[in-house]
Amino acid sequence: MLSAGTATTEITPPVGSIINGDFFSHRAQSVGDPLYAKAIVLQSGAIRFALVMVDTCSLTYEFLGPVKQQIEAITGIPQQHQLIAATHIHSGGSVNGIFLSEVDTAYCALLGKALVQVVAKAFECLTPCMVAYGSVPVPEHMVCRRYHMKKDFTPFDPFGKGTDRVVTNPFGYEDQILEQAGETDPELAFMALRSLEGTWLAVLANYSLHYVGDFSKTVVSADYFGHFARSLKERLGAGADFVALMSNGTSGNINIWDFLNPHRYPGEPFEKSRLIGRELAAHIVDCLPQLQWDAAATLSAGAAVFELPVRKPGHAALMRAQQQVEGGVLEGRRSLDRETVQRIYAREQLLLAAEPDHCPVYIQGVRIGAGRIGAFPGELFAETGLWLKERFRGTPYFTICLANGNIGYAPPPHELEAGGYETWRCRTSKQEAGAEPEIKSRMEQLLKGL
């Protein structure tokens, strides 16, 4: 028999805290809506598993290591059975230094304690439950953010190569767009949990869409993930212990900034994220009458670690980067003109060169009843997520990205060759061309073994 416990704790950073997700650090000046860490703890026989969604941009192995150790000490849940993932909002406390964004060490201390507490609380609330899975296509909020441009257009890249065949988010060059350059995964997938008496416990949803970010960069907000959770709880009429979680799917090449149809959403702050969150919640509620509930579900989980080579700069590239960083001041820059972007990426080459030659990749899988969930510590493209779903056609499956750490983008080989922002070599795009095939093959192997 399967048992589940749920818990929520607020993790809103204080005003003045560092917000990351941009090329620069920002300081929180106001709170649009609160941030949360939300936990589901599952148990079947001797097997226990914790799943936690955190309203932040990304997490690191280094931050999560001590957190998972404490969770295991308190609950007995093995570290390899703890899935802790970021929603990937760009409007929360900074746990991971990205580009010129700094880590907020004071916030990290608060967040670490909160994550331990929320899992411990969920563990204390275990109750026998039933599980069901649902799925509905929601393509209207999916936009491939990579574009093929007109023949005579010369794309910018920070290394001055001029060889990119794809442009990501072509702000100001809308008239040069030919077409979008990739596929999307329109599926809104979800797992629902209820007590054996029918009380709502949790809904874990998965959608392959980046954050919306329709508000100031100094505002703290849970973005559409938060609007989804509040709307779903309201529509279900669920009790105080109900937890709605939206996880980030394989959205590495997907966002909502439609450069071919820029005026199809309301333009006021929070209106777009509110609309999307509420519509996703409504789609799930519409699916509920068709769900098939399993009151005898079992649980299995696994994890694997392997290493991938890091795509490092050569000697000549390092010399150029050194000259660029020495020749220009990055301190105080706040506008992303081309010179600033070049210097930011020059700094990235120096930092990347100092990293180990191989990067550990921690993947994870869990089977809950008839469904499987995969977890990857970075950003996969929709193409990769669709490939994995095809391997489990006929059974529920989805991938949670930015789970248990962040090794950056892992584009398919042909996308890496095409260029664009997601492929520009830096600490958050450092995988070689063979990484994505290796990742999806190992994830398939792990998940099929559950």
310 DSSP assignment: B
Helix (H/G/I), strand (E/B), else coil: 86:
strand
Single-letter residue type at 65: G
For residue range 139-173, list pLDDT tens digits in order.
Answer: 999 999 999 999 999 999 999 999 999 999 999 99
| CA-closest candidate to residue 361, choices 415, 295, 305 | 305
Residue 142 is predicted with a pLDDT of 95
| DSSP calls for 176-205 | GEEEE-S----EEEEEEEEETT--EEEEEE
> What are the residues whose beta carbons fall under 8 Å from the beta carbon of 180, sequence distance 6 or more?
143, 144, 146, 147, 148, 260
- Three-state DSSP state, 164: coil
CA distance 38 to 392: 27
Q: Given this model, what pLDDT does residue 331 score?
A: 72
Q: What percentage of the chain has pLDDT greater than the value 70?
A: 99
Q: How far apart are CA 262 and CA 296, in angstroms?
A: 48
Question: What pLDDT, in 10s, does the model give residues 29-64?
Answer: 999 999 999 999 999 999 999 999 999 999 999 999
Report pTM. 0.98
Residue 336 is predicted with a pLDDT of 86
Q: What pLDDT does 328 receive? A: 75
pLDDT beneath 50, residues of the chain: none
